[in-house]
Amino acid sequence: MKSEYTTVLDAGAAQLQPGPLVIVLSVPVLLLAFSHVAKARRWRSAGRPIQLGLWVLYLSYAPTVLYQYWTLWHSRAAARDATQMSIEAGPVAATAIDRQPDGLFIETSQRFAVNGVDFEYRHYSLRYLEFLLPQTDLVTLPLDEDAQVRVTYRSEGAQKELLRFEIAASDLHAHN
């Protein structure tokens, strides 16, 4: 009997969030509008320091967002073009989920084993104002003990990067 699998995590199909890009593209227009209003209302003394501060803030924010987009795009492309990958299929064992604050971020770590091979899926998200930086969505893996899963991963030494996590359809329905 052939078991049907449902994809829960696919690193090659991660969606990029448009919100931060919209902010990066719209802020210069808003800053120029602020400059025009300040000039029209003759806010000479207060307008310059505020305007300079806003430009400095923007010029530090824009490269950060663009670097995040590049990182997400690169990791998605690397997951799609992975040539050296392995697949483990079997029951899930030794599951653990841990969430810890790490400065401005919250680190979520989901650890599990399949056929004696240990995996860890990590996700960092901003604690506050998470819409300001592009990031992949946190995928809560259905880590029920003895659930039948198929894990596709790329191994670089001791580091394993999850490319795809699939669960048997019968176990997914039992999880829901």
Instruction: Read off the pLDDT of residues 132-149 as tens digits, 9 standing for 90 and up.
Output: 777 777 788 888 888 889
User: Residue 158 has what DSSP assignment?
Assistant: T
CB 149 within 8 A of CB 114: yes
Q: Half-sphere exposure (CA, 13 Å, Cβ side) for 5?
A: 16
Same domain for 160 and 89? yes
Same domain for 9 and 24? no
Same domain for 73 and 99? no
What mean pLDDT is reported for the chain?
Answer: 81
Task: Say what the pLDDT of residue 1 is.
Answer: 41
User: HEC profile for 67-121?
Assistant: HHHHHHHHHHHHHHCCCCCEEEEEEEEEEEEEEEEECCEEEEEEEEEECCEEEEE
Same domain for 55 and 118? no
List pLDDT tens digits, range 40-62.
Answer: 777 665 567 777 887 888 888 88
Predicted TM-score of the model (pTM): 0.69
Pairing of strands 148-156, 117-126: unpaired
Q: Which of 25-34, 96-105, 122-131, 152-161 has the highest mean pLDDT?
A: 96-105
Q: Show which of 31, 51, 80 is a domain's final residue.
A: 80
Same domain for 165 and 93? yes
Task: Say what the pLDDT of residue 3 is.
Answer: 64
Whether 5 shows a pLDDT value over 80: the answer reads: yes
Same domain for 96 and 76? no
Task: Say what the pLDDT of residue 145 is.
Answer: 83
Burial-class residue 163 by CB neighbours within 10 Å (0-12, 13-18, 19+): buried
Same domain for 113 and 160? yes
Same domain for 99 and 167? yes
Name the residue range of residue 29's domain: 19-80
Same domain for 93 and 158? yes
Question: CA distances (Å), 84 to each of 117, 127, 163, in order?
Answer: 17, 35, 11
- Amino acid occupying residue 134: P
Q: Show which of 80, 105, 120 is a domain's final residue.
A: 80
CB 9 within 8 A of CB 141: yes
Same domain for 95 and 68? no
Mean pLDDT of 68-93: 84
Domain count of the fold of the chain: 2
Q: How far apart are CA 172 and CA 16, in angstroms?
A: 26
Task: Say what the pLDDT of residue 131 is.
Answer: 72
CB 93 within 8 A of CB 145: yes
Same domain for 59 and 87? no
Same domain for 24 and 89? no
